[in-house]
Structure 1
Amino acid sequence: MLFKIMKVGHAMGIFSYIRIVLLWGLSVILLAACGGEPQVTTSYGVVEGKRDGNVKEYLGIPFAAPPVGELRWADPEPPQSWDGVREAKYKGHACTQWATGIPAFSPNEDCLTLNIWVPKGEGPHPVMFWIHGGAQSAGSSNELQYDGRKLAQAQNVIVVSANYRLLVSGFFALPALGTGEAINGNQAIKDLVAALQWVHTEIDKFGGDPNNVTVFGESAGSTNTCALLATPKTKSPQQLMHKAIMQSGACDTLGIMSMEEAQQIGMGLLEELGCLDDPEPLQCARDLPIEAIRGPIKYDLFTSFGWTLDEWPYRPGLVVDGDLFPASPVELVADSQGEIPIMLGTNLNEGSLFAGFLAHPDDAAGYATFMEARYPGQGEDIVSHYPFADYPSAGEAHAQVRGDLIMKCPTLNMARLYSTHNNVWMYSLEKDVFSVVMEVISLGFKRNAPELGVFHTADIGYLFEFPLLSGLFNESDRQVRNIFQQAWGNFARTGNPNGDEVPQWDAFDPERNNYLVISAEPENRDDFRQGACDYWFQVGYGF
């Protein structure tokens, strides 16, 4: 009897074992059927990403060789191929940060990577290529507010974000000195061209459409979007971009320099580093650790928002180099004919962050003195165009000046120039917004500071659905989020923001200076800034 029980028990054990093996095998098959960890074979090797809900993520993929050693300040080179499977589950290094104030993950010169978010479903999907901001000095594609998952999922588009070299790393020019080669600057823009070239050749393997790429960016990222729109390098030998969205920034927001100007700034830095008198000045600078170069330059980003360009310890700017930009980027954009439709716009209170970190006087006389000190030779004119009596405080008046000078008037000028031969849609975000992040940052505001209002970067929180930046507390908040995501998605698909869930948005007409107010009650309006920009068009605008 015992023997029979043992035999039965043994048989049951075998069956249990077989059952476990079968279940394990079935789970492997099901996991494989579901895709497991997603893998894509690129021209450089296999990358393995991860799933986040219905979106596949491939993070930290190199699109260029690390710009270190002899490649510091050089044009980007293609990345090295790899054997086996490269893990693409974590974002790469941020590029070297020259301004402090934005949390950056492990900043490093080895930073030329991109991130890809792929929605569920069959492709080919429209591609939206994001460029981060940060005054050309700070920031990275790896910041939390730039996570592309929700936008990819909501609009069934592939979202790509890329890093680019910043400030001294990304805008450094030098004549040929010693036996070294001349450095022509614009490294940041060349990095972005390289990233777009990578997208052009590789994105179809991820389910993207290389013939439908929308470049979009905010602040410095918007300036760089404009630069990519201007350069012939994105049009030949391949068309690398097909649409553009510029959020709070134009080609000339941070100024445009001649090669001579840029090289003078580069030589000034070499002198400060003790390399200008070296027999090989460029090699001397390349041999220095990046922290030795960063040391005399680094500054607080938010403090710099109140500066003019002359006050920056190192001035970034697009350089008319005869190659990437054979003429001024503004001229190149103005001459573009029927090639690429654009959307562009600003936020109602763009200037609050650019004035809030300065202390302002209490009365009209102090305001007049303050404005003349900040803008020598222009103070009286500025006060006449922005009278103290029209604003609650000197800080509010100055915020309006800064918003027009840096963001709104460059944007309006861009719309006027480009709409001569191309389709343009302009907007103004005017929805009241609460931001946990900006409330903390504004604790550093000085005396008689402006209210934050609809601050610079408020659009990002809605577009990428990041509630710490732009709160999503009520139905009107969610309505604005939906307009941003849907209009941006419509534009990426068709080149026109109009369509489902978007109020009628009239194309820009330079006779009307019209724009869509994005708010809880969106509407089309005419006369953007009601002539205030005419003064800045005469005397010059930008930082």
Structure 2
Amino acid sequence: MFRVPSVLAVAGTALALATATGTATATATATATATATATDGVGDRTACVTRTSLGVVSGTADAGLCVFRGIPYAAPPVGERRFRPPQPVSPWKGTLRAVDDARVCPQDRDVLTEDYPDDRKVYTDEDCLHLNVWTPRPDRAKRPVIVFVHGGAARYGTGNEPRYDGRRLAARGDAVVVSLNYRLGVLGWTELGGLDPSYRGSGNNGLRDQMTALRWVRRHVADFGGDPANVTVVGESAGAASISAMLATDHPERLFRRAVLQSGSGALVHTPAFERELAAAFPIRDIAALRTMPVADVLKVQEKAVAALPGAAGGALYFGPYVDGTLVRESVVKRVAAGNARGVDLLVGSDRDEVNFFGQFTPNGLSGLARQYDAFFPKELAARRERMTAVYRKGRTRREAALAMFTDQSVRIPALRLAEAQSRWRPTYVYQFDWAPPKGIGAVHTIELPFVFGTLRFRGVPGGDEALRTDRARLTTLSNQMVDAWTSFARTGDPAARRTISRPAWPPYRTPRRATMIWDLPPKVSDDPRGNERALWNGLAFDGTTL
């Protein structure tokens, strides 16, 4: 089991990585696309226009791309629809001007790690189930489609963050890029079925939101120049955990053809027992009162609930997808190993020093974080801990060894288990991001995001901005290499098929070789990196988060 530490308190973005998806669908099938340009009323800029079965949509022209921001993919989850599965969005009359880049699902601002589109301190608009599209042109070119699901502990963040701007991916990769919002915190991830059976499954509504957005993409992305039969979903942290959960739903290949999991896996999907513990800890027992409560008050109740549980359970891991037996059928690794996702190509990886990220929020920094690992280490491996620690201590200080074990247990090893399970069925690729700012605290959680998107915005990455100022040319090259790899994977299923910049070939991950791309200056391929440490975790089942 992936066990929650009893004392790891980290509020903010989340190594727990939970996010959400959707279940309801948009309406009708896509119709023929009409491509045109029209003035948008702001100076002499022009907006791109396309026609969908829901109505006409206009966006803006930006550096050779058409950008559509704030397109609704589901009905507003307000009033009687609060805590219910997402419902179909209604067609609109006239032209929808998709220029809204400020949609953020309800949350208190995370000032340390998220890259918000504005300076609001609290976000309270529940009408947030919107998505953004970047495309070279809304024609019928059938470009590969990349859909991004953001992280943030299923409690923070938005698809509208500037660091997730899809322009570089769309332009360099000739792809259609989509980012989306989904319900967060209590509103998207609290199981209320124990209070009222009609709300059974509400703990996965955030996941249903995401799945609804993916169905919207399959129906309408052709109107934006994308290929609905070639969709790659990309998730980071909580987003990756959510996509992992989708791999354990029925027929995930109907949602996407390929998946990229960055710093998250099925080990962070809640077990049924853990979800029951969280539901029992929720302080309000009256659903009617909760359904009509002002959003600001809901957020206050949410923070009290989070604070009531110890450590990571009260912060990073409180919210997220869970195995409900209906939508998410079983533990992700078991389901994938049995071939449930045999129609999905997979790319998965982690950052070398993932957990160091949380040292920014921990008393006494990295030293305090390393001490907390005692409560995190799995009881099942207690008899071999001394031997494991001795292996990790080679070339490391005691603190460095504890943090390396912490990262391996929480992110790297579960990702490798998932890759190994899927490699039996479909081409699977593994990476590790190793580059670290010279004056930072390592290759921490989220560090790969500025490179994957080509935005080079180092929010929450100590030393990142200074490194960019002093080494911009080499970091830009590394980013271009990763953009090429991600878009090549989206186009062909092979991240090395498109190598416009010199970098090594990237073989699929198969045992016993276990070829792994190491993203660094320069990148390299390593066979079974730190394999002796990987093998120490054999026998531990990473099949869900539990207390």
Under TM normalisation by the shorter chain, which class is it? 0.7 to 0.9
> Cα deviations across residues 18-56 of structure 1 (Å, max 9, x unaligned)?
xxxxxxxxxxx9978x99421122222222100111011
User: Could you tell me whether the CA contact under 8 Å between 1:39 and 1:49 is conserved in 2?
Assistant: yes
Query: For residues 303-322 of structure 1, what are the structure 2 equivalents within 5 Å?
Result: 308-312=311-315, 315-322=318-325
Q: Report sequence identity in percent.
A: 29
Q: 1:361 to 1:218 in 2, by over 3 A?
A: closer
User: Could you tell me whether the CA contact under 8 Å between 2:359 and 2:369 is conserved in 1?
Assistant: no
Q: Distance in 1 between matches of 2:332 and 2:154?
A: 17
CA RMSD of aligned residues (A): 3.3
**2:410 pairs with one of 397, 406, 425:** 406
User: Could you tell me whether the CA contact under 8 Å between 1:355 and 1:402 is conserved in 2?
Assistant: no
Q: Distance in 1 between matches of 2:375 and 2:245?
A: 32
Decide which moves more: 153-162 or 476-485.
Answer: 476-485
Letter in 1 for 2:322: V
Q: Which has the higher helix share?
A: 1
In the other structure, the counterpart of 1:23 is none
In the other structure, the counterpart of 1:423 is 427
User: Could you tell me whether the CA contact under 8 Å between 1:168 and 1:314 is conserved in 2?
Assistant: no
1:453 partner SS: coil
In the other structure, the counterpart of 1:113 is 130
> Cα deviations across residues 342-388 of structure 1 (Å, max 9, x unaligned)?
1111122212113453345999xx99976545658577854652359
2:172 partner SS: helix
User: Could you tell me whether the CA contact under 8 Å between 1:355 and 1:398 is conserved in 2?
Assistant: no
Q: CA deviation at 1:119?
A: 1.2
Q: 1:97 to 1:394 in 2, by over 3 A?
A: farther
Q: Distance in 1 between matches of 2:479 and 2:164?
A: 15
Decide which moves more: 162-171 or 176-185.
Answer: 176-185
**2:477 pairs with one of 446, 455, 479:** 479
In the other structure, the counterpart of 1:444 is none
In the other structure, the counterpart of 1:191 is 209
Letter in 1 for 2:443: V
> Cα deviations across residues 221-255 of structure 1 (Å, max 9, x unaligned)?
111222223322544xxx22111111111122x24
Letter in 1 for 2:349: G
Q: CA deviation at 1:85?
A: 1.3
In the alignment, does 2:218 pair up with 1:200?
yes
Letter in 1 for 2:224: F
1:528 partner SS: coil
Q: CA deviation at 1:397?
A: 3.1
User: Could you tell me whether the CA contact under 8 Å between 1:62 and 1:114 is conserved in 2?
Assistant: yes
Q: 1:69 to 1:241 in 2, by over 3 A?
A: same
Letter in 2 for 1:114: L
Query: For residues 13-92 of structure 1, what are the structure 2 equivalents within 5 Å?
Result: 36-92=46-102
Q: Distance in 1 between matches of 2:63 and 2:199?
A: 49
In the other structure, the counterpart of 1:453 is 442
1:169 partner SS: helix
Q: Distance in 2 between matches of 1:313 and 1:369?
A: 18
Q: CA deviation at 1:150?
A: 1.3
Letter in 2 for 1:482: N
In the other structure, the counterpart of 1:265 is 278
Q: Distance in 1 between matches of 2:491 and 2:56?
A: 29
Q: CA deviation at 1:413?
A: 0.8
Q: 1:536 to 1:355 in 2, by over 3 A?
A: farther
> Cα deviations across residues 161-201 of structure 1 (Å, max 9, x unaligned)?
01111222222212354685434421111111100111111
**2:259 pairs with one of 231, 244, 251:** 244
In the other structure, the counterpart of 2:524 is 523
Q: 1:396 to 1:297 in 2, by over 3 A?
A: farther
In the other structure, the counterpart of 1:14 is none
Q: 1:418 to 1:463 in 2, by over 3 A?
A: same
Name which structure has the greater RCO, CA cutoff 8 Å, separation 6+: 2
In the alignment, does 2:150 pair up with 1:140?
no
Q: CA deviation at 1:100?
A: 3.0
Task: Look at both structures and tell me which one has the larger radius of gyration over its CA atoms.
Answer: 1
Q: Distance in 2 between matches of 1:398 and 1:202?
A: 48
User: Could you tell me whether the CA contact under 8 Å between 2:234 and 2:260 is conserved in 1?
Assistant: yes
Q: Distance in 2 between matches of 1:175 and 1:45?
A: 36
Q: 1:98 to 1:368 in 2, by over 3 A?
A: closer
User: Could you tell me whether the CA contact under 8 Å between 1:128 and 1:492 is conserved in 2?
Assistant: yes
In the other structure, the counterpart of 1:298 is 303
User: Aligned residue pairs: how many?
Assistant: 481
User: Could you tell me whether the CA contact under 8 Å between 1:99 and 1:298 is conserved in 2?
Assistant: no
1:217 partner SS: strand
In the other structure, the counterpart of 2:32 is none
Letter in 2 for 1:518: W
Q: Distance in 1 between matches of 2:142 and 2:319?
A: 37
In the other structure, the counterpart of 1:5 is none
Decide which moves more: 80-89 or 144-153.
Answer: 80-89
Q: Distance in 2 between matches of 1:202 and 1:432?
A: 40
Decide which moves more: 197-206 or 218-227.
Answer: 218-227
Q: 1:246 to 1:316 in 2, by over 3 A?
A: same
Q: Which runs of 5+ in 2 are unaligned?
A: 1-35, 459-463
User: Could you tell me whether the CA contact under 8 Å between 2:140 and 2:226 is conserved in 1?
Assistant: no
Query: For residues 224-373 of structure 1, what are the structure 2 equivalents within 5 Å?
Result: 224-232=242-250, 234-235=252-253, 239-252=254-267, 254-258=268-272, 261-269=274-282, 272-273=283-284, 276=285, 281-298=286-303, 308-312=311-315, 315-336=318-339, 338-359=342-363, 371-372=373-374
User: Could you tell me whether the CA contact under 8 Å between 1:98 and 1:166 is conserved in 2?
Assistant: no
User: Could you tell me whether the CA contact under 8 Å between 2:266 and 2:331 is conserved in 1?
Assistant: no
Q: Which runs of 5+ in 1 are unaligned?
A: 1-28, 440-450
